[in-house]
Amino acid sequence: EVQLVESGGGLVKPGGSLRLSCAASGFTFSSYSMNWVRQAPGKGLEWVSSISSSSSYIYYADSVKGRFTISRDNAKNSLYLQMNSLRAEDTAVYYCAKIQLSTAALDYWGQGTLVTVSS
């Protein structure tokens, strides 16, 4: 059974940093690209970042470029999101999601971790 479990969320002051983790199991993690997607309270889904299976290709939304860094450790079956220079508008539930090979749809999602940026 595919499982994605995020951790690392919490309350942080504006300008602060946080590192999210996503532990993957139930599939060959090293073979799949992964995404981070966020959802602000009461709002819709927003794509944040993507990373290919070998970390060769990395993409960011304009809203986080230069502040967030996606990475992965295939030996540990883990995905990460380093978030720096956090702003109030980064407050959201952050989901990690597995990318389906054939169509690039997001076929499995974690339960999410809440990041609150507030003074």
Partner 1 sequence: QSVLTQPPSVSGAPGQRVTISCTGSSSNIGAGYDVHWYQQLPGTAPKLLIYGNSNRPSGVPDRFSGSKSGTSASLAISGLQAEDEADYYCQSYDSSLSGFYVFGTGTKVTVL
Q: Which of 5, 109, 114, 116 binds partner 1 (CB under 8 A)?
A: 109
Question: To the nearest whole angstrom, how small is the minimum distance from the Cβ of residue 97 to partner 1?
Answer: 8
| Residue 75: CB minimum distance to partner 1, A | 26
**Which of 32/108 has CB closer to partner 1?**
108
Kindly give the pairing relationship between strand 45-51 and strand 106-109.
unpaired
Which distant-in-sequence residues (6+ apart) come within 8 Å of 24 by Cβ?
2, 3, 4, 34, 77, 78, 79, 96, 98
Residue 84: HSE in the Cβ half-sphere, 13 Å Cα cutoff? 6
Does position 88 interact with partner 1 (CB under 8 A)? The reply is no
Taking CB under 8 A as the rule, does residue 1 contact partner 1? Answer: no
Cα(82)–Cα(84) distance, integer angstroms? 7
Q: How far apart are CA 78 and CA 112, in angstroms?
A: 15
Q: Counting contacts by CB under 8 A, is residue 50 touching partner 1?
A: yes
- State which residue, 15 or 54, has the beta carbon closest to partner 1: 54
Residue 27 is a binding residue for partner 1 (CB under 8 A): no
Residues that bind partner 1 (CB under 8 A): 35, 37, 44-47, 50, 59-62, 65, 95, 100, 102-112
